[in-house]
Amino acid sequence: MSTGPPVLGVSAITVHFGGITALQDVSLEVWDREVLGLIGPNGAGKTALFNVICGFVEADAGTIRWQGKPVARMRPAGLAKMGIARTLQGLGLFPQMSSLENVMLGATRFRRAGLPSALLGLPWSDRDERALRERAYAAMERTDCAQFAERLPGTLPYPIQKRVALARALAAEPKLLLLDEPAGGLDEGDMSALAELIDELRNEISVMLVDHHMDLVTSVCDRLIVLDFGRIIASGEPADVRENPAVLEAYLGREAEAASGETTAALGAIDADG
């Protein structure tokens, strides 16, 4: 873990939606080359926090620091230039564009030629386009979906579409990658490949992971933050968090009789955040 400032610092974030408190005084840090897991029961506020970090939701209170510097307002359009990329629970792929073209969108921060040059077909625009294609193709190779580069996303199996969406995020070469339910809809083999990729990424960048597959989360994350009703109730190494009474109560206390004390099985079957 880096001895410098955290890559991302979130301090006292509070968000209200009408009369509902989605997040209350949430503070956390993501360090350089750390994989941080954000978990919690359905509706705990995990996706809401991601949306605040990405600028889709403006917090009612609190501050965000990026690489040690305060950010007055996170804006979705500026995330790539800052060095932040995100995958979505919904794939967000454009159906009429090839998979490669979708991934190229993630690399547009590296585009040098402007729109007029592209429209006129000037030589440096062509070179720029080739460079983006090569960058996108390399990202698809890394997620093992390059063989589907020319296919439309809708013609591909769902797990392959997930790989294309992940490649699009990686094509931006982020400093921080936010993964929102990346294992949703994957079988055991695909999930194992995802875990291997995340394990590789920790040598290069920081990763913030939201997922309800506890086997994946505990195997790849350095630390876990647990949210319940918009508040942090626990944090620490995965093994310690899984045994935390407050965490077990958050997951199992509402249906203790149904759980019948099978805590490990229940934790592995958490529904995705709403």
- Would you say residue 185 has pLDDT above 60? yes
Look at the block and give the residue holding tokens 């958050």. 250
Q: Are residues 202 and 140 in the same domain?
A: no
* 75, amino acid identity: R
Buried b (16+ CB within 10 A) or exposed e, 87-119: bbeebebeeeebbbbbbbbbbebebebeeebee
* 202, amino acid identity: R
* 77, amino acid identity: A
Q: Are residues 192 and 77 in the same domain?
A: yes
- Sorting pLDDT into bands at 50, 70 and 90, what band is 252? low
Tokens at 257, concatenated:
């009789």
Q: Are residues 55 and 190 in the same domain?
A: yes
Q: Are residues 201 and 252 in the same domain?
A: yes
pTM exceeding 0.75 = yes
Distance CA 166, CA 201 (A): 12
pLDDT, tens digit, 9 for 90 and up, residues 102-158: 999 888 876 665 444 444 454 445 677 888 899 999 999 999 999 999 999 999 999
pLDDT, tens digit, 9 for 90 and up, residues 25-75: 999 999 999 999 999 888 899 999 999 999 999 999 999 999 999 998 888
- Would you say residue 243 has pLDDT above 90? no
Q: Are residues 185 and 266 in the same domain?
A: yes
Last residue of one domain, picked from the residues 146, 173, 200:
173
Residue 177 parent element (H or E): strand 176-180
Residues in the chain: 274
Q: Are residues 50 and 158 in the same domain?
A: no
Last residue of one domain, picked from the residues 141, 173, 205:
173
Contact 209, 272 (CB under 8 A): no
Q: Are residues 185 and 146 in the same domain?
A: no
Last residue of one domain, picked from the residues 139, 173, 207:
173
List the domain range (segments joined by +) for residue 231: 1-83+178-274
Buried b (16+ CB within 10 A) or exposed e, 134-150: ebbbebbebbebbebbe
Q: Is residue 89 part of a domain?
A: no
Distance CA 125, CA 116 (A): 9
Contact 7, 30 (CB under 8 A): yes
How many structural domains comprise the chain? 2
Q: Are residues 102 and 168 in the same domain?
A: yes
pLDDT the model gives residue 237: 94
Q: Is residue 189 part of a domain?
A: yes
Distance CA 195, CA 81 (A): 27
Tokens at 172, concatenated:
């931006």
